[in-house]
Amino acid sequence: MTTLAAGRFEGSRFVFPIRVYYEDTDAAGIVYYANYLKFAERSRTEFLRQAGIDQSDLRESAGIFFAVRRAEVEYLRSARLDDVLQVSTQLVEMTHVKIDALQSIRRALPGGGTEELARVLMRVVCLRTDGRPVRMPGHIRDRFLPYVRPLSEALQQLEALGDATVETTGSAAPAREE
């Protein structure tokens, strides 16, 4: 398999670099809103690879896969053509069937540091190939455990990155399933 820019873990948080290309933007050179979800998906996919989870193998050998059940995006600033972005992924809750992740899309600033452009709260669920929910196999769940941190801790990490202009509200918490 060819090795590409795969990102890196910073503690339990995974950080994946992305450059904004022309195909990501509208006529004004601003990233189209739906593409932030594509950036988040790429980061989650690379997170899985780095954590040793092969999605194709999981689907073929165990007959299961992960699918997005809920996505909540807060758009804070616009990304533009040629921006270098960092998409971080932090798992914030996990059960036997679902995983909640907090993702932050940040722009690298010329003098160093970053500024947050979008924040994504994502819920993925484990499904059988027939689309029905299923418990994650123990060995897969064990792979995720080292990367799960409470949402409050994940939000503190984001704020520590120095973007004081972004306020965190109660809406940042993933909704609980009944």
- How many CB atoms are located within 10 Å of the residue 128 CB? 12
CATH architecture of 8-163: Roll (3.10)
Q: Which amino acid is at 6?
A: A
pLDDT at 176: 40
- 166 versus 80: the higher-pLDDT residue is 80
Catalytic positions: 26
Six-digit token string for 127:
């499904």
In percent, the amount of the chain with pLDDT more than 70 equals: 88
Q: Using alpha carbons, select from 131, 125, 133 the residue that is nearest to residue 98.
A: 125
Q: Which residues of 68-89 are buried (b: 16+ CB within 10 A; e: fewer)?
A: ebeeebbebebbebebebbbbb
* pLDDT tens digits, one per residue of 29-68: 999 999 999 999 999 999 999 999 999 999 999 999 999 9
The answer to whether 99 and 144 have CB atoms below 8 angstroms apart is yes
The answer to whether residue 94 scores a pLDDT higher than 70 is yes
The answer to whether residue 125 scores a pLDDT higher than 60 is yes
pTM value is 0.85
State the pLDDT confidence band at 175, using cuts at 50, 70 and 90.
Answer: very low
